[in-house]
Every structure is written in structure tokens, then in C-alpha cells.
Homo-oligomer: A and B are copies of this chain.
Amino acid sequence: MRATMMYGAKEVRVEQVPDARIEQPTDALVRVVRACICGSDLWPYRDPQRKETGWQIGHEAIGIVEDVGREVSTVKRGDFVIMPFAYSDGHCEFCAEGLHTACVHGGFFGTGQVAGAQAEAVRVPLADGTLYRLPTVPHEALLGSLLTLSDVMGTGHHAAVVARVSPGKRVAVVGGGAVGLCGVLAAKRLGAEQIILLDRHPDRIELGKAFGATDVVTERGEAAVERVMSLTGGRGVHSVLECVGTEEAMHTSILITRPGGAIGRVGVPHYETIPASGPAFYKNITVGGGPAPARAYIDVLLPDVLEGRIEPGRVFDRIIGLDEVPEGYRAMDQRQAIKVMIKP
């Protein structure tokens, strides 16, 4: 079959690889109907060091079950499924608490442990715990939004949950990439009164407004902090969704948080430390977040997708075939696309 191989140093190739197949009795084999490229895939892509051997990348997919191992009982051949970016057994103490990304038997797709999903098919470990089965094959118009439940919408929702967004709150979303845009949508869905999007790209800003952003701040650094303060009566926001993953974004987040407020950070952090003293302490700010338990959030978000109340699939502004994946990476890397969907 064909699959996407990542080599770093902006080299990504679609290659012929051995067919994905059942290896464990708890596996399922899923034919990929739609996959996509994640902002986090750009980190290895941008890594200046080129690897001799690549690895199969991609961790977001929806698809049709083609085969299952003999111990799999909740999905069967022909089922339409959402594949969250982490696999999980569904019954360990962490899964039971809804933190599937800490599953004691779990792991992540496309990281080298388990082959990635930017491919014609993907082997899904612990299929009973991992896959979310839909009762019917959905209409094509819903595919994009369903695909976001694999990661990006669940991740935006996680940022909002960790940042304690609730009705009436003032919220800032730092970074209007696909995660940040889903964060806007999640904040709106959770009842935020004010949603300030910090970004400077017109295409993102336009979609952010459509998703519920009430204010946009295009400044950066100190000027951005001043703008948010002036938009919030000098107090700052209750909740910050840090959707960039850089040191500058975290510093800005701390400065714009209201005393007693919370920051939810979900971008894989490309910084080593969070300021400990100064405003972070004296304002009693809470900082949390990490890999989103997307599997748990499907239960929460799916009804709103199926009934059309949210359309997170609008973050996809380009659809490509599998062969065009290298071009998809290039477009996202150069910010010519917000998020690229792959139709293998």
C-alpha cells in the first residue's frame, strides 16, 4: 500500500510500504477514508536534521473497518469509525477517568511505535478501546467535521476545558491555527461571553470570527497584552487557550490572564520552562494541559457535529490526494493552508 514517510529536513514522501495488517488479536485494520496533516507533523518536518530511515507519519483518520483480530468485539468489518490520535485500552484506570492519553497500554499513532495514518490503511491496536464506531456511514458533507474529532477539535476542546471556560467567561485564544480555531469553537460552545482571538492571518481571522470570536488582536508581545487588557476593562481574561506552543505565546498567556484565571495549553511545547514567579504566582494562575483525550471527547462533541451545531471541518481549506501529501506539508509549512485534508 502507499503511505507517507517522514524523513525530517522538509523531506516527506509517499512510498510503497508493506500492507497494514492485523498483528495482534486486539487489532483492527482500517481503510482510511480521510486523514489529515497536523500542525505537530510540521515539527519533525522542520527538524533540520534529515533521518536516514523515515517513519510512517499521521495520526488523524476516519475510515472503514476492513478486518479485526479475533478478540475484537465492538467493531466489525464495514463499520465506519473515528480513530483518535492515541490508542488506548478503554478500561484502565486512566481511560475510566477519561484521560485516554495516559492509558497504561496506550500510545500514539505515527510516532514510530505504530504506523501512521497518512496512508491507504492503518493498523489500530486495542481496537475495542480506541475506535469510535458510528451507527451509519455518514454523509460526505460531515466527513471533515468527523475527522476533526480524531484530534484537532478534541484538542481545542481540551484547551477550553483545562482553561475552565464556562458560560459568561472572557476567553482569549492565542494562535489561530486549526487548534486555535477549534478552541474558539469550543469556547463558544461552552458559553464564553467574549472570545478574543490573537492572530494576524486574514484567512484564520475570518474563520475565527465565523466560529465565534468576538474580538481579534493582531498585535504581538507587549502591544497584544495592552490590547487584551483594554478589551477586558484592564483585568484580563478568565481563560486562555494557548494554542501555539512557543515561549512567547506562554508569556503572553500569563500576562493576559485575569487573577484566579487558568491557561489551557495543548500545543506540543517547544519551550522548556514556564515562568514560576511574578504574575504567574501572584495572580494565582493555573496552568494545565497536555495531549487531549480525544477519545473521551467524541462522546461530548459528536452530537453537535452530527446535528450541525458545530462545523469544525471548516478548518480544512484544502483537500488533496495521497500523492500530493508532500505539497500539503509545504502549503501548511508556508501557511498557505490552515489545515490540509487527505483523501487517499
- Spell out A's residues near B (CB within 8 Å): 93-94, 97, 99, 101-102, 162, 235, 250, 259-260, 262, 265, 268-269, 271-277, 281-291
Measured between alpha carbons, how far is A279 from B147 in the docked complex, in Å?
28
With known contacts A99-B260, A283-B102, A290-B282, A276–B273 Cβ distance under 8 A: yes
Residue numbers in B under 8 Å from A274 (CB-CB): 273-276, 287
Closest to A97 in B: B260
B290:A102 contact, CB within 8 angstroms: no
Measured between alpha carbons, how far is A52 from B284 in the docked complex, in Å?
33
Residue numbers in B under 8 Å from A271 (CB-CB): 276-277
Closest chain B CB from A179 CB (angstroms): 15
With known contacts A94-B259, A275-B273, A291–B286 Cβ distance under 8 A: no
Residue numbers in B under 8 Å from A265 (CB-CB): 281
Closest to A273 in B: B273
A287:B288 contact, CB within 8 angstroms: yes
Closest chain B CB from A244 CB (angstroms): 13
Which 10 A-B residue pairs are closest in the complex by CB-CB distance? A286-B288, A284-B290, A273-B273, A102-B259, A99-B260, A274-B274, A269-B277, A269-B276, A274-B276, A281-B290
Copies in the complex: 2
Measured between alpha carbons, how far is A93 from B233 in the docked complex, in Å?
12
Residue numbers in B under 8 Å from A262 (CB-CB): 288
B283:A286 contact, CB within 8 angstroms: no
Measured between alpha carbons, how far is A102 from B269 in the docked complex, in Å?
29
For A93, A94, A97, A273, the residue with the greatest tally of chain B CB atoms inside 10 Å of its CB is A273
Residue numbers in B under 8 Å from A282 (CB-CB): 290-291
Closest chain B CB from A241 CB (angstroms): 15
Closest chain B CB from A246 CB (angstroms): 10
Residue numbers in B under 8 Å from A272 (CB-CB): 273, 275-277
Closest to A234 in B: B104
Measured between alpha carbons, how far is A276 from B273 in the docked complex, in Å?
4
Residue numbers in B under 8 Å from A97 (CB-CB): 260
Residue numbers in B under 8 Å from A259 (CB-CB): 94, 99, 102
Residue numbers in B under 8 Å from A281 (CB-CB): 265, 268-269, 289-291
Closest to A284 in B: B290
Residue numbers in B under 8 Å from A269 (CB-CB): 276-277, 281
